[in-house]
Amino acid sequence: MSTQDDEEAGWATAKTLAETLPFIQRYDRETVVIKYGGHAMGEEEVARQFAADAVLLKLLGVHPVVVHGGGPQISRMLDKAGVKSTFMDGLRVTDAATMEVAEMVLSGAINKEIANWITLAGREADVRGVGLSGKDGRLITVTKARRVKDGQPIDLGFVGEPQKVDPKLIEALIHADEDYVPVIAPIGVSETGETYNINADTVAGAVAAALRAKRMLLLTDVKGVLDKNGEIIREMTVAQAFDAIKTGVATGGMIPKLETAIAAVDGGVEAVVILDGRRPHAMLTELFTPHGAGTLIRK
């Protein structure tokens, strides 16, 4: 590259930074909860990039809080252990053996791996990932999830729904003098001390509401909510999100994501964004550019 090309590239970079400033100021010292899971966490290079972007958010004055899933990894470990699992309305029926594997995978391997990627990406700036589960400090207290099918109650086993999120532990980490990024596994505990598996989207929504987050980002493997013509819907109100579910515009796995977004906004989150976590720098594009990167749901 010539000296002139270098100079032009420098001017372009400076222009981009100047245009980003208003968005950086908008999120200064604000909390952003990030649901990281599915195909968005399936490849090492994508994981490294996600970690680097989370570190950059912290260095820019944002307080990122990561909630992760791990369904495919649980399924692979169950297959290896010879434990069969079934699903009901998208929730894994979780007996004692399945719960043991789920906790080992979620709170162990995946949680610590993501925290470690963040620590490695932030080592020069001393930003560190801290792995937690909902059992730590009674962060997430759950009740047993209940479902009814054809008028009959369905026992999902050790599947829970958040009853209470105590944000004190997370707040202590994100407001500490050191730069910590909490990474939360979707495992909770009942009032009587039993361990439960929780849907990660649901955990992210409950944590975001408890923290009064500025944004919740649901990283998934689609670019957002699509209309009947297959075009992305850039912004929706809660009422429009309800209507998308009712009229069939939203189908399959998008329905629980919209339901999570609606609950989070109703719980005090300013807005929720559903976006494709496989795209490079999707979080940065969403937060720091005028056009965003997915579908935004707000009041």
Structural domain contains residue 4: no
When pLDDT is averaged across residues 74-83 and rounded to a whole number, the result is 85
Q: Quick one: which of 92, 24, 16, 51 has its CA closest to 181?
A: 51
- Dihedral (C-alpha) 262, 267, 268, 274: value to the nearest 10 degrees? -30
Residue 185 confidence (pLDDT) above 90 = yes
Q: Between 282 and 2, name the one with better pLDDT.
A: 282
Give the best-scoring range by mean pLDDT among 125-129, 149-153, 226-230: 125-129
Paired strand residues for 275: 219, 294
Report whether pLDDT(184) > 70: yes
* Number of compact structural domains in the chain: 1
Range of the domain at 146: 27-298
Instruction: Report the pLDDT value the prediction gives residue 6, as an integer from 0 to 100.
Output: 63
Would the CA dihedral through 198, 135, 131, 171 be positive or negative?
A: positive
How is residue 122 annotated by DSSP? T
Per-residue pLDDT at 217: 96
Residue with token string 């749901």? 297
Phi, psi angle pair for 156, to nearest 5°? -90, 0
pLDDT at 91 over 80: no
Report yes or no on 88 lying in a domain.
Answer: yes
Mean pLDDT across 103-126: 94
Average pLDDT, the chain: 89
One-letter amino acid of 169: L
- Which residue bears the tokens 């906790």? 103
Residue 177 lies in a domain: yes
Report yes or no on 7 lying in a domain: no
In a domain, 11, yes or no: no
Structure confidence by residue, pLDDT tens digits, 201-211: 999 999 999 99
Mean pLDDT of 84-94: 77
19 is a domain residue: no
Lowest-confidence range among 23-32, 112-121, 164-173?
23-32
Residue 14: inside a domain: no
CATH number of the domain bearing residue 282: 3.40.1160.10
Q: How far apart are CA 198 and CA 127, in angstroms?
A: 28
What does the pLDDT look like over 40-54, one tens digit per residue?
A: 566 788 889 999 999
Question: Is 169 strand, coil or helix?
Answer: helix
The pLDDT, as a whole number, for residue 62 is 95
Q: How many helices (H) and strands (E) does the chain have?
A: 10, 14
Residue 1 has pLDDT above 60, yes or no: no
Beta-bridge mates of residue 155: 146
At CA 211, angle to CA 218 and CA 52, rounded to 5? 50
Alpha helix (H) ranges present in the chain?
3-26, 44-59, 71-81, 96-103, 111-121, 168-174, 200-211, 238-247, 254-266, 282-288
Of the candidates 51, 40, 24, 62, the residue with the CA atom closest to the CA atom of residue 211: 62
